[in-house]
Amino acid sequence: MKKDRRKFLQLSSLGLGSMILNPFSGKASGKILQKPIVVSTWDAGIRANMAAWEILQQNGRALDAVEKGVMVTEAERNCCVGLGANPDRDGKVTLDACIMDENFNCGSVVFLERIKHPIHIARLVMEKTPHVMLAGEGAQQFAVSQGIPLEKQELSKEAKKEYEEWLKKTEYKPVINIENKQITAPGKLSDGSFNHDTIGMIAMDAAGNLSGSCTTSGMGFKMRGRIGDSPIIGAGLYVDNEIGAAVATGQGEDIIRVAGAHSTVNYMQQGFSPEEACKKVLEKLLKIKGSKAKDIQAAVIAISKTGEVGAYALQKGFIYAVCDANGKNRLINANFLI
Ligand code: ASP
């Protein structure tokens, strides 16, 4: 799948802050950013960060920032996330999302159809129901009961073309491709293909509180009913306000196996820096996948309570967007294992 990505990137080095001691371990850690901070996955994150930043710079809550931020991506009709995304094998777009705040409150929707902003429904599940997760028709009914309109069940022009191509072979290959886009120079992103369909965002607000969000159409041409890691608290997203926050992207089945986001936060609790924590989770994944790991991509981004940001990927080609306290928003190539 090839898509042109807009190139209004503001790149610069992550040379902010300084080395400090990690309060959990006493070990030296990496770069500390001043709060507020927002970090998100892939290059669409750059636009999502801008919306989140609008809220954060006005002393808004991280929870509002991560919701409004990823809504930008959900609304991009020709993007990888939301109703404009690739459908399942039956030609229907089904969406998954979750959100988590600084008090362990969380909400999630899975297998949701005809809703423009699944992340908003996830937040409504969190705030208006005694539950954490709603699925399919029930989730849609709940959305409608909250006054959310149902959108038409129609594919974006781009997705329709992709689907028609796919129908020619109907080959079922549930793998997340390895993106080969990279930042080649300040402000420049190479051409390349991708097959990921997710945005994950984590933020720390001016008060020092953390929140996270994750929203996806899942894998293109997936089996009907398939759910990945993205809407699963602990797999796709986890926030512990005393320790840090993490969000994952890539092959959902494998991220679930290692409880990707929670494991990352757990490693931060043990004193690992965000980058080391992300790396350790992917090392585990590599270990369990063995030689099959080369066929998949998985990546995690994390923020520690001290304001340190890090990421790691299984393969080359994962980029993430970081916006710091000065509103400097840039894409960064993540380090990788293979
Ligand atoms: N993690 C998502 C899923 O498995 C896909 C992605 O991150 O692109 O559904």
Q: How confident is the model at residue 108, as a pLDDT?
A: 98
* 264 in catalytic set: no
Q: How confident is the model at residue 80, as a pLDDT?
A: 73
241 lines ligand 1 (CB under 6 A): no
Residue nearest (by alpha carbon) to ligand 1 atom 4: 252
216 lines ligand 1 (CB under 6 A): yes
Domain 33-333 has CATH 3.60.20.30: yes
What residues in the chain have per-residue pLDDT under 70?
Answer: 1-30, 78-79, 173-183, 185-196
CA 55, 57, 61, 63 torsion: positive or negative? positive
229 lines ligand 1 (CB under 6 A): yes
Tokens of 170: 């109907």
CA of 298 to the centre of ligand 1 (A): 9
Residue nearest (by alpha carbon) to ligand 1 atom 8: 196
Q: Which among 198, 165, 1 is positioned nearest to 95, based on CA atoms?
A: 198
Q: How confident is the model at residue 192, as a pLDDT?
A: 58
CA of 27 to the centre of ligand 1 (A): 33
Provide the 3-class DSSP secondary structure of residue 79: coil
Per-residue pLDDT tens digits for 34-65: 999 999 999 889 999 999 999 999 999 999 99
Domain boundaries, the chain: 33-333
Max intra-chain CA distance, the chain = 58
Q: How confident is the model at residue 79, as a pLDDT?
A: 64
Contact 177, 294 (CB under 8 A): no
Q: How confident is the model at residue 194, as a pLDDT?
A: 52
228 lines ligand 1 (CB under 6 A): yes
197 lines ligand 1 (CB under 6 A): yes
User: E strand or H helix at 20, and its extent?
Assistant: strand 19-21
260 lines ligand 1 (CB under 6 A): no
The pTM (predicted TM-score) of the whole model is 0.89
Q: How confident is the model at residue 172, as a pLDDT?
A: 72
Peptide bond into 36 cis (omega under 30): yes
Which residue among 219, 227, 237, 318 is best mutated to probe the pocket of ligand 1, counting the most ligand atoms within 8 A of its Cβ? 219
